[in-house]
Amino acid sequence: MPAAAERAFVAIGANLGDAEATVREALDALGRLPGCVLVARSSLYRSAPVQASGPDFINAVAELQTTLAPRALLQQLQALEQAHGRVRTVRNAPRTLDLDLLDHGGREWRDEALVLPHPRLHLRAFVLRPLLEIAPQLALPGVGPLAPWLAQVSGQAIERI
């Protein structure tokens, strides 16, 4: 990977179909995206939907090294979601695959399509637990160190598979 590569973290979730297989396939596919190398992958976790209904989610987080700019990486993630049958209907609806760009190079970014770091990542156990598994010392702009936030989400049901 060229020296211009940046560290990015992607949350993966699914709760329709064979969600566990879909999450595993998505983890593999992230490493095949142009300009990306899969550096680390968390364990898989099962979590109850947050502010939604439907079956439990299977979740994970991946760390990438990427030469793609944030918007370009987001477009690749959305194409991967669509390839897995993702249909965007209502917010927090059950889904075949959900890929959220959590962080890209530790920068703050805000436009009509993307906010970095992800504005709710520190409020969701299904993101924090797998993210801290692979990046326990991670701190993000506007959020700070992530580990202390685990206490805030301790009431959210999540289990490592």
- Which candidate in 7, 56, 71, 100 is catalytic? 100
Which residue is catalytic, options 7, 24, 71, 86? 86
Residue 1, pLDDT > 50, answer: no
For residues 67 and 97, give the distance between their C-alpha atoms in angstroms, rounded to a whole number. Answer: 24
Sign of CA dihedral 76, 63, 149, 43: positive
Instruction: Give pTM, 2 decimals.
Output: 0.93
Among residues 41, 95, 124, 129, the one annotated as catalytic is 95
What pLDDT shows up at residue 88?
Answer: 59
* 125 token code pair: 């156990």
- Catalytic site residue 71? no
Domain spans of the chain, in order of start: 6-160
Whether 51 has a pLDDT exceeding 80, the answer reads no
Query: Which of 3.40.50.300, 3.40.30.10, 3.30.70.560, 3.40.50.720 is the CATH number of 6-160?
Result: 3.30.70.560
Q: Taking 50 as the threshold, does the pLDDT of residue 145 lie above it?
A: yes
Mean pLDDT score, 84-113 = 81
Residue type, 50: V
pLDDT higher than 80, residue 39:
yes
Q: How confident is the model at residue 119 (pLDDT cuts 50, 70, 90)?
A: very high
Tell me, yes or no, if 18 is annotated catalytic. Answer: no
pLDDT(33) > 90: yes
The residues, any chain, with a CB within 8 Å of residue 98's CB and separated by 6 or more, are 11, 12, 13, 14, 81, 86
pLDDT at 10: 98
Residue 103: active-site member: no
Predicted confidence band of residue 24 (pLDDT cuts 50, 70, 90): very high
| Annotation says 95 is catalytic | yes
